[in-house]
Amino acid sequence: MVNEISTKQLEKVIDSESHRIFDVRSVDAYNGWTLEGERRGGHIRGAKAIPVSWTDEENWDEIVRSKGLMPNHQIVVYGYTSDDAVEVAERFVISGYKEVSVYTSFVDEWAANESLPMERMERFEKLVYPRWVHQIVSGENPPGFNGKKYAICHCHYRNKADYDIGHIPGAIALDTLELESPDTWNRRSPEELEQALMRLGISADTTVVVYGRFSSPHSSDPHPGSKAGHLGSIRCGVLMMYAGVRDVRVLNGSIAAWGNEDYPLSTDELKLEPLSEFGDSVPAWPEIFIDTPQVKELLRSGNGNLISVRSWDEFIGKVSGYNYIFKKGCIPGAIFGNCGSDAYHMENYRNIDLTTREYHEVKGMWNEAGITSDQFNAFYCGTGWRASEAFLNAYLMGWNKIAIYDGGWYEWSNDPANPIVVREPL
């Protein structure tokens, strides 16, 4: 049976260990976007994200258990509409949870009352939703957009056909190799980055939205994720931030989210309009990347963490993770950052619908490993793609002392003078 709970009743149990609160709105609303005219963005303090769109997922029970829900917990569900809240509440009842309530006054009472506690992702506006992008494409000014220059980048790796078969209208094709070296997978030189961005028509004050296509990452191409454009799009976005593009945004859920809204795709190729000036010194944010000498100093000093955003089998040295990296193992002193199942997946940083994972959960995963925001944290993986996604998560949460070890395992393991540790499986 589903009951209804009032604002006063919810206030009394918000911090109770016996209750769990679930927000059934989109992850974008949960993160901080005000999508239905509410006075404040974000979610009720302590609430977990469980969008109504997930109710038909086969592993729904597993998803809610992963959010710390136990059989004895009393559940409160809220959303933008009572219908959505009731739908998810009834799904809890079907799963055997007995004490389930719906809260129907979130917009009118909770979000409207400044004294009631709410939370939001610190830099939520850098993670945009499909309607936000659609409004730009349609000539409108969505929230936070300055109405000036913009570029939408359909990112891929040596696979322009991925752009040709269908992209967001007005998007340009961006091969990741335009921004990173095909020999080392490191960032290109400042001069090369500046020229590449100007050729694309991107300057320091351009609002850039990056996205890619989710597809099978298993291929014969030598670079991980060669057809997994979403991961590549994040890599491109971080490289643009390093260069000096001041307003880089990522389409949450990438092109899959665009398709879920039934927005149209285009096969028309946008004609590039190159620029003669970038508008800032490149790199404008050099601190985003560190290189091998700085990594060695970090490990020697102990003034921060080097975080391996790799799979467990890579971390312990069971596999190298790549067909072009031959040495197995890990950099001594690195902390396990846990990307997912292998070098081609980042499922531990993503929701079931491929949107960015609830940030409280990412923070909790890191905190358990001893990774906290007050420390300097440098992320690395094989060649920088997965590390870029971890870096993005930290950046979105407002963490400021963060960087990427650009050379990663590829550069470290290629130098025979560098130490390597191989661990025994647990």
Same-domain status, 273 and 380: no
Asked if residue 150 lies in contact with residue 207, where contact means CB atoms within 8 angstroms, the answer is yes
The domain total for the chain is: 3
Same-domain status, 80 and 201: no
Main-chain phi, psi angles of 191, to 5 degrees: -65, -40
The span from the CA of 38 to the CA of 177, in Å, is 42
What six digits make up the tokens of 52? 């109504």
Same-domain status, 143 and 65: no
From 153, 155, 236, 381, active-site residue: 381
For residue 426, is it within any domain? no
Provide block-wise average pLDDT over 10 residues at a time, the chain (426 residues). 94 96 98 97 98 95 94 96 97 95 98 98 98 96 91 96 96 97 94 98 98 60 54 97 98 96 96 96 98 98 97 96 92 96 92 95 97 98 96 98 97 97 80
What H or E segment, with its residue span, contains residue 211?
Answer: strand 207-211
For residue 100, is it within any domain? yes
Is-catalytic flag, 381?
yes
End residue of a domain, out of 72, 95, 120:
120
The predicted pLDDT at position 264 comes to 96
The predicted pLDDT at position 335 comes to 97
- Alpha helix (H) residue ranges in 2-70: 7-13, 27-31, 60-66
For residue 419, is it within any domain? no
Same-domain status, 220 and 183: yes
For residue 255, is it within any domain? yes
Same-domain status, 157 and 211: yes
Same-domain status, 318 and 221: no
For residue 212, is it within any domain? yes
End residue of a domain, out of 91, 120, 149:
120
Same-domain status, 329 and 379: yes
For residue 399, is it within any domain? yes
The predicted pLDDT at position 7 comes to 98
Same-domain status, 236 and 330: no
End residue of a domain, out of 120, 142, 163:
120
What six digits make up the tokens of 415? 């130098």
Same-domain status, 189 and 274: yes
Q: For strands 289-290 and 207-211, give the pairing.
A: unpaired
The range of the structural domain enclosing residue 402 comes to 287-414
Same-domain status, 362 and 231: no
The predicted pLDDT at position 83 comes to 97
pTM above 0.85, yes or no: yes
What H or E segment, with its residue span, contains residue 405?
Answer: strand 402-405
Same-domain status, 114 and 136: no
Q: What CATH number does the domain containing 154 carry?
A: 3.40.250.10
Same-domain status, 133 and 274: yes
